[in-house]
Structure 1
């Protein structure tokens, strides 16, 4: 997928193993947006997902990057996921701060939807913040729905519980899913 704006052009492609070390830097850049939210500013200082986790996703074929087509194909955003039974779970999606608001997140989600459909998966899942504009409201616009806590399977309930232990406040996070129509 190729897209361009008045400022820049990007395309989505599979991530190369040699790019795994660049993805944590993109995540750190994206996390700086949390500095504008006092209660969540600590997220900007959290360590990003490791390059090793990205490498596993790359090897599994479930990691995509948005690349700057004008700058030697340099990654500016990514989506890292893992297949869990009949689902694919988004572990992280980040766009470098100077590339945000240009449709990269939507393009990454569209790519994941197409790949998931082609691979006969049932749904896409993720955890995210309920009230942060670039989190749950973004995914709602992309066709995801919030899964009520009493409808969570064991895997998704455990992910939310782990996030609480990590420091997120109760009721600030949610599970979302996108049902793939086969």
Structure 2
């Protein structure tokens, strides 16, 4: 792209190197330029149908906040609204019910839901299915990485690709923001924790990648969790 295009101009092509103005909703790859008077255009690149474009941009190397709606199949992804925080906390409590039958996880049933103020420390994307709030992901930049503080899906909607769609959005956020990778702390088991993330390309984070921010998170977790059951995983940005 030799010169920055118009704000919000949409290109559609399978190879972004030959992208030309075209249809905005039909092709597999959709690149949306959301450049706002800066040298390098910020590009959104994903296999989603866009209903809107980002209008709030940070320079490369900083966390990029977005204001857009994406549709993949019957799942709609969009930024959360402040009046939805209580509903998102209920989704977390419902999701914890999946641990009820597992030995050693009883504490998850009585643990308080994520504090409301946590939603103001990062960015939250919610998922809707048939206009029902179905899941969310909360993330924030820490140590040059995109840290997933929480990802939750309503248990009765498990297996419909909601978690995968939210995770893909987080990874796109990582790329947009020029961060080194996506990172999270999770349980080694059951299958919907560590094994699920590993299935999606995550692996143990190298010790050298754990900066002071992530180390502080692990130290806090150690005050109320058995760290032998935990692992910190990451996926480099691609």
Give TM-score, length-normalised by structure 1. Answer: 0.85
Aligned: 1:67 with 2:67: no
Identify, as 1 or 2, the structure richer in helix.
Answer: 1
Query: Is 1:159 the equivalent of 2:217?
Result: yes
CA distance in 2, matches of 1:85, 1:155: 6
Aligned length: 169
Alignment of 1:53-64 (within 5 A): 53-57=118-122, 62-64=123-125
* In 2, Cα distance between equivalents of 1:103 and 1:118: 22
Indicate the structure whose relative CO is greater, using CA pairs within 8 Å and at least 6 residues apart.
1
> 1:23–1:51: 8 Å Cα contact kept in structure 2?
no
Gapped regions of structure 2 (runs ≥ 5): 1-69
Distance 1:150 1:82, change over 3 A: closer
Name the structure 1 match of 2:180. 122
Query: Does the residue aligned with 2:228 lie in a helix, a strand or coil?
Result: coil
The root-mean-square deviation of aligned C-alpha atoms, in Å, is 1.8
Residues 90/180 of structure 1: CA separation in 2 closer, same or farther (3 Å cut): same
| Equivalent position SS for 2:232 | strand
- Report the Cα distance in structure 1 between the residues aligned to 2:171 and 2:92, rounded to whole angstroms: 22
Counterpart residue number, 1:28: 93
Of 2, 6, 15, the match for 2:80: 15
